[in-house]
Structure 1
Amino acid sequence: MKDFNLTQLQAFARVVETGSFSAAAERIGVSQPAVSLQVKQLERQLGVRLLERIGRKATPTQAGQELLEHISRISAAVADAGSAMGKYRTSNVGRVRLGTGATACIYLLPPILRDLRNNYPQLEIIVRTGNTPDILRGVEENSIDVALVTLPAVGRMFQVTPLIRDEQVAIFATGDAPPQPMVDAASLMARPMIFYEPGGHSRDIIDGWFRDARLVPKPVMELGSVEAIKKLVGAGLGCAVLPRLAVDGSGSQGNLEVRSLRPRLVRQLGLVLRNDKILDAGLRAVVEAVTMMKPQS
């Protein structure tokens, strides 16, 4: 019965309904031999006779009559399935798995997620945070539908849309910052430094900036939390390099002071999906909402 299918059931039901193979073929829109073949295959797979000819009319046997009851329930189930799937074509329902970094999750996504929830209350959005390589691996494995991460995202399977340029800045405890508005790698090396933990694109970008100055940074602490780094810097335990997004612009930030880097260092945030990812209504709504974020200079 491995080849048992809906087409065979439909052909049999139409023969019973119309009383003939030719009328059933006309109703379905196929040839009469095609209908005869479908019914014969169904009888062979089930191992029973389903139809008998009484005069010029095809009528169901007792087995055929009982099969019709099952077909009725099967047809109702198929109709219900079609109706259930229809809402995914016409409205924003379902589930979207969004992967991103901690900075974007804290400082960019909250208003976007709030608006999505208000506009699409039936849409479930699951947010997963992590380092860019881990998030991109999730996109590759299809455990994440769409990612907002630090670029680059290398791979022919990825569709990448650059969105935001985020300047990296140095932060110091209030009163401990250098007087000049910009700092270079050598001046930071003279202080205790608190960095992101290794493994992410953001840390790679910072390490690369020091390498360009022919220096190798030796942080006294490495953490995975932007907010934890800010707290430790504010307590006077060292300086750090963080995205400007994370310090809400330039100038004094409570117990923190911000300085631009010399030379300027910028990371690019972008949206990443698989090239073969199907954008249903819910995923399209999330992609459009994130893409509408205004780039920063």
Structure 2
Amino acid sequence: MEKTLNLDQLKSFGLVIETGSFSAAAERLGLTQPAISLQVRQLERRLAVRLIERVGKRARATPAGMELLRHAHHIETAVDNAIDALADHASGVTGRVRLGTGATACLHFLPAVLRALREEFPALGVVVSTGNTEDHVRRVEENSIDLALVTLPAAGRSLSVTPVLDDEFVAIGRSDLAPLKARVTPADLGGLPLVLFEPAANTRKLVDRWFATEGLQPQPVMELGSVEAMKEMVAAGLGYGIVPRMAMAGRGAHPDLKISRLAPRMHRTLAVVIRRDKPVNKALRVVLDAIAAAGKKAGAVTRAR
């Protein structure tokens, strides 16, 4: 057997197994279902094995298909790394960088970074997706994104983790409704209606640990995944919140909300996460450098306050 594989056929096969159907894989790839079926049949003929079987209404991998899937991820990673490595030989900064981050950093940290990159490197594309730390770490490990800017902790044997910025947390409340003191403790907030991050977020875990320093467990009236939604709920007088300070700076400032510092101080560390074996081409290097420079500048501003 000649040892060659068609990468398009391999990708179609993987998506059929991932989605459980030929039609869903076709929709994901922008192709027709017959085209996907043909690619899978050609791959099966090439390898002389059956790769997919139907269990009920769902397409599943046969034992041979499962064996191929084990290798498919490594094949895709090797191809991506080869393409990324060759980008260093091209003139200028071109290509696409896939970046994962949290919603707050996406709204209040990255816009200025991305604008500066677009102005300096118009041929560079940065594709941003939002989610929580756990999901982004997994996607970095799988090489489905190139890097992530996430709230620590983030760990993995194959990962390089570089702290970028310490972001202080603050309490927020309406200015005209029982305003908070300039500095508030867990006891000050423990008996108030609270609007907090959803439990899965690393930021919420930090908040819970802050309350635990005085033996308290917060009982929020709302748990939200968006810092902007939290700010609007607090501004509507529905409770008090604890949010990263960057969400209240610059354009994030809200005319109806007052900030109070926390005692003891609470902060999160934003860090860049990337695979240790990831080839750093020109495009990825300028994105990494831009994030590091912006983090250093933001940290200097915070210390000056």
Common fold: TM-score over 0.5: yes
Partner of 1:226: 227
**Deviations along 1:58-96, whole A, 9 cap, x unmatched?**
xxxxxxxxxxxxxxxxxxxxxxxx9xx567543211110
Deviation of 1:180 (Å):
2.5
- AA of the residue aligned to 2:201: G
Partner of 2:32: none
Cα contact 1:185–1:213 (8 A) shared by 2: yes
RMSD value over aligned CA atoms?
Answer: 2.0
Larger radius of gyration: 1
Partner of 2:133: 132
Cα contact 1:107–1:246 (8 A) shared by 2: yes
C-alpha distance 245-3 of structure 1, shift in aligned 2 (>3 A): closer
Deviation of 1:179 (Å):
5.2
Alignment partners' CA distance in 1, 2:282 and 2:224: 38
Alignment partners' CA distance in 2, 1:108 and 1:243: 11
Partner of 1:242: 243
Partner of 1:284: 285
Alignment partners' CA distance in 1, 2:178 and 2:171: 9
Alignment partners' CA distance in 2, 1:238 and 1:86: 51
Partner of 2:107: 106
Q: Does 1:201 align with 2:183?
A: no
C-alpha distance 193-127 of structure 1, shift in aligned 2 (>3 A): same
SS at match of 1:264: coil
- Mapping of residues 1-297 of structure 1, within 5 Å: 2=2, 89-178=90-179, 180-248=181-249, 253-293=254-294, 294=296, 295=299, 296-297=302-303
Partner of 1:52: none
Alignment partners' CA distance in 2, 1:222 and 1:286: 33
Alignment partners' CA distance in 1, 2:113 and 2:89: 22
C-alpha distance 120-135 of structure 1, shift in aligned 2 (>3 A): same
Alignment partners' CA distance in 1, 2:189 and 2:291: 35
Deviation of 1:235 (Å):
0.7
Could you tell which deviates more after superposition, 108-117 or 172-181? Answer: 172-181
C-alpha distance 253-117 of structure 1, shift in aligned 2 (>3 A): same
SS at match of 1:292: helix
Alignment partners' CA distance in 2, 1:288 and 1:153: 20
C-alpha distance 211-90 of structure 1, shift in aligned 2 (>3 A): same
Partner of 1:38: none
- AA of the residue aligned to 1:239: Y
Could you tell which deviates more after superposition, 171-180 or 238-247? Answer: 171-180
SS at match of 1:291: helix
Partner of 2:47: none
- AA of the residue aligned to 1:158: L
Alignment partners' CA distance in 1, 2:171 and 2:89: 47
Deviation of 1:121 (Å):
1.3
- AA of the residue aligned to 1:167: E
Cα contact 2:179–2:258 (8 A) shared by 1: no
Alignment partners' CA distance in 1, 2:88 and 2:160: 27
SS at match of 2:277: coil
**Deviations along 1:240-289, whole A, 9 cap, x unmatched?**
0000100117xx84100110011110111111111111111111111111
Partner of 1:33: none
Deviation of 1:154 (Å):
1.4
Q: How many residues are matched? A: 216
